[in-house]
Amino acid sequence: MKIAVIGLGYIGLPTAIMFANHGQHVIGIDLKEDAVNMLNAGKIHIEEPGLQTELTKALLSGNFKAQLNLEESDVFIVAVPTPNKADAYLSCDLTHVVDAVSKTIPYLEKGNVIILESTIAPRTTEDVVKPMLEEAGFIVGQDIFLVHCPERVLPGKIIHELVHNNRIIGGLTPACIEAGKQVYGVFVQGELIEASAGAAELSKLMENTFRDVNIALANELAKIGDTLGINALEVIEMANKHPRVNLHQPGPGVGGHCLAVDPYFIVAATPSNTPLIQQARAINNSMPDFIVEKVKNFMADIDGKKVTVFGVTYKGDVDDIRESPALEIVELLEKETAFEVSVFDPHVKASWIDPDLEKAVANSDLVCVLTDHSEFKTVTAEQFKGMKQQHIFDTKHVIPELEKVAIYNMGNLYEMQKSSKKLVPIAE
């Protein structure tokens, strides 16, 4: 089977390599010439554990190559970005999907399979892509098999989860579903779940929306605890000992290409039916401002002049900064002329990021931890001796106890402003 994977990003590249390492002939298509050249030279352009080894294996087998242009294939997998539009409900921008499908049409032959892996708004497969194929003269379900198979993997564990996670096969017809199952049956060991395309689209969006809503509840709890002087993390730990409770963890906001994006696709499709989803988005979007306000107040209390940010990726142990709330926090802090800002992140290389932890914290009054990288879980007190004042605001609750270092987290926020804040009294 010859497979063309369009889009060699965080999902497209691992998917392409996985098919190649299971005996399929794969061409990976990307618009970025530098990425194509890097891959053909044997070097991955994204950070993902195990992916470099898998790429080397795929290239040595001769089953994978990257290129700029499409060619005839048996299967076309679309794995391109679907960002938010700048409209009232931040709806799904299908520009890249439509462009990718348009470019496949001249190469389509009867019996080909088109699979949309990109996260898309409900009914996109049926209302947008199917008409494109029909206009080109194909009968979907007979000539061409159209399927939506959303990715459901966790960055940092993509190689394992591509194989072992269940996979939703959302087809427009039973024949489309069967064609999709034959493709993913090459390597997927999890269940191949049969579904309509619309149900597959909405299921993926709701999986991420579920998490976004529950994180919003945890973030709201952190604010409640701050106001009432109650440790929110302690509350969460105790509540989760209940057999039917699983509260999520609060943090500096929600980022990434899924949780901070996907809920809006549902909202845009049916605004009047999504007040809870919209409120959850608003709560999570408020967290960067909330964190910065806590930092500003604390720095004023201690007469601080320098803040060091630890971590700018949207989650730990990856180099992905898409939709990262940490970036927004850095930007907000840099607008404050009252103090200096330095940034340390061992997973991101950029001119504005200090590659050395001890240099980044030198003469700093406060370290603000915004990402849960593994490196932060093993820091020592010695590494912070260069600070002018040894305070850490750990929004991800990952820093170990350190001698002579004051550590604040999302549970004991109220302790950051003991001198300047009065707790809310109990209402009579």
Task: HSE, CB side, 13 Å, CA atoms: give it for residue 338.
Answer: 15
- Three-state DSSP class for residue 371: coil
| 150-208 pLDDT, tens digit each | 998 988 899 999 999 999 999 999 999 999 999 999 999 999 999 999 999 999 999 99
What are the structure tokens assigned to 265, written together? Answer: 């696709």
| Cα distance between residue 363 and residue 378, in whole Å | 21
Find, among 80, 82, 68, the residue nearest to 27 by Cα: 68
Cα maximum dimension of the chain: 75
How many whole angstroms separate alpha carbon 276 and alpha carbon 209? 10
How many beta carbons lie within 10 A of that of residue 377, not counting itself?
12
- Domain boundaries along the sequence of the chain: 2-190, 206-428
Q: How many helices (H) and strands (E) does the chain have?
A: 14, 13
β pairing state of 306-310 and 167-171:
unpaired
**SS3 at position 5:** strand
Of 300, 258, 232, nearest to 10 by C-alpha is 258
DSSP letter assigned to residue 386: T
- Would you state the pLDDT for residue 419? 45
Give the Cα separation of 178 and 167 in Å (integer): 13
Output the pLDDT for position 336: 85
Residues contacting residue 32 through CB under 8 Å, at least 6 positions apart: none
Low-confidence ranges of the chain (pLDDT < 70): 418-428
- 255-283 per-residue burial string, b: 16 or more CB within 10 A, e: under 16: bbbbbbbbbbbbbbbeeeebeebeebbeb
So what's the pLDDT on residue 155?
A: 86
404 is catalytic: no
Question: Which among 92, 149, 176, 258 is annotated as catalytic?
Answer: 258
Residue among 92, 130, 149, 204 flagged as catalytic = 204
- Which residue bears the tokens 């967290």? 287
pTM of the model: 0.92
Which residue has tokens 């439509």? 98
Cβ neighbours, 10 Å, residue 120: 25
Could you confirm whether 149 is annotated as catalytic? no
Q: Amino acid identity, residue 203?
A: S
Asked if residue 415 lies in contact with residue 393, where contact means CB atoms within 8 angstroms, the answer is: no
Say if strands 2-6 and 25-29 run parallel, antiparallel, or are unpaired: parallel
Residue 418's pLDDT is 61
Give kind and range of the element (H or E) at residue 278: helix 275-302
2-190 CATH choice from 3.20.20.210, 3.40.50.720, 3.90.550.10, 3.40.720.10: 3.40.50.720
Same CATH topology for 2-190 and 206-428? yes
Q: Are 400 and 372 in contact (CB under 8 A)?
A: no
CA distance linking residue 246 with residue 259, whole number of Å:
18
pLDDT, position 425: 55
Please, are residues 192 and 181 in contact by the beta-carbon 8 Å criterion?
Answer: yes
Rg value, the chain, Cα: 24
Cα–Cα distance measured from residue 209 to residue 214, given in angstroms and rounded to the nearest whole number: 9
* Topology, domain 206-428: Rossmann fold (3.40.50)
Quickly list H helices, 81-194: 95-104, 124, 130-135, 158-164, 174-184
**pLDDT at 338 (0 to 100):** 83
Helix ranges (H only) for 41-112 are 51-61, 95-104
- CA atoms within a 13 Å half-sphere pointing along the CA-CB vector of 81: 12
Strand 306-310 to 340-344 pairing:
parallel
